[in-house]
Amino acid sequence: MVGTGILKGMAVTLRNFAGSYFEKDRLTTVQYPEERIPLPENYRNFPILIYDGTDPQAGLRCVACKICEKECPPQCIYIIKSDDKKPDYMGKPQLYPKVFDIDISVCMSCQICVEVCPFEAIKMDKDFELSKRERFDALLLRKEELSKSNEYYHRIHPIEAAAVDKNLADAAAAAEAKKKAAAEAAAKAAAAKAAATTARPASAELRRGESTAAPGEAPPATPDKPATT
């Protein structure tokens, strides 16, 4: 019958309206901004730069490799590399971004920058209250505004951040094991070289002994080679 669908829809609406007075789950709206629905783990908005420790500049994970800048589809990332280096999270000297800007009026929240970053340095924020009166410069976020602590990252994406921490710890442990193995190999090689150097004078001595015998005369006796008659 024509209109049955409308009546069924109205019945669902009526049931939810009346039920919302008795069942909290039927309430689909909240009193924003006083009340807020928790955002899901994989919600994303605009990128941020993660730093370790308490100093945003010293702990910044970004090494200014510019991969994200090249891969960003609308080209809204702008990076200038530093002239000097600072230690990364493994203590290795690395460049860092002297300038790192993201124009969020252009960013389309695709997360490609996050996917391509080999250093777990750029992640997606969940902050969506970013409206500004000024259209241009206010929407160009600088390195200082983009830098967020690893604790903040854990608060907004707890599962993802824990997995990233584990990856970084594994990578640091693997690098440490490789360094240790290389040091052991170098120590072994040095010991072998030292042993060869101490053995060489003895054999040279033997050779000298052979050469002191006159032509046609039997060489003098050596510990492992008796004199011939």
Residues of this chain that bind ligand SF4 (CB under 6 A) = 47, 62-68, 72-74, 76-77, 79, 102, 107-113, 116-117, 119, 121-122
Tokens representing 196? 């060869």
User: What's the CA gap between 149 and 171, in Å, rounded?
Assistant: 20
Rounded to a whole number of angstroms, the minimum distance from the CB of residue 43 to ligand SF4 is 14
Rounded to a whole number of angstroms, the minimum distance from the CB of residue 65 to ligand SF4 is 4
CB nearer ligand SF4, residue 55 or residue 205? 55
Rounded to a whole number of angstroms, the minimum distance from the CB of residue 48 to ligand SF4 is 10
CB nearer ligand SF4, residue 112 or residue 206? 112
CB atoms within 10 A of CB 30: 10
Render the burial of 202-218: b for 16+ CB within 10 Å, e for the rest.
eeeebeeeeeeeeeeee
Measured over the CA atoms of residue 107, residue 113, residue 114 and residue 115, the dihedral's sign is positive
Rounded to a whole number of angstroms, the minimum distance from the CB of residue 108 to ligand SF4 is 5
Residue 120 · residue 168 · CB < 8 Å: yes
* Residue type for position 39: L
CB nearer ligand SF4, residue 20 or residue 119? 119
CB nearer ligand SF4, residue 20 or residue 82? 82
CB nearer ligand SF4, residue 3 or residue 118? 118
User: How, if at all, do strands 47-51 and 122-124 pair?
Assistant: antiparallel
What kind and span of H or E run contains 28?
A: none
User: What's the CA gap between 173 and 167, in Å, rounded?
Assistant: 10
Rounded to a whole number of angstroms, the minimum distance from the CB of residue 70 to ligand SF4 is 9
Render the burial of 121-143: b for 16+ CB within 10 Å, e for the rest.
bbbbbbeeeeeeeeeeeebebeb
Rounded to a whole number of angstroms, the minimum distance from the CB of residue 191 to ligand SF4 is 40
CB nearer ligand SF4, residue 84 or residue 224? 84
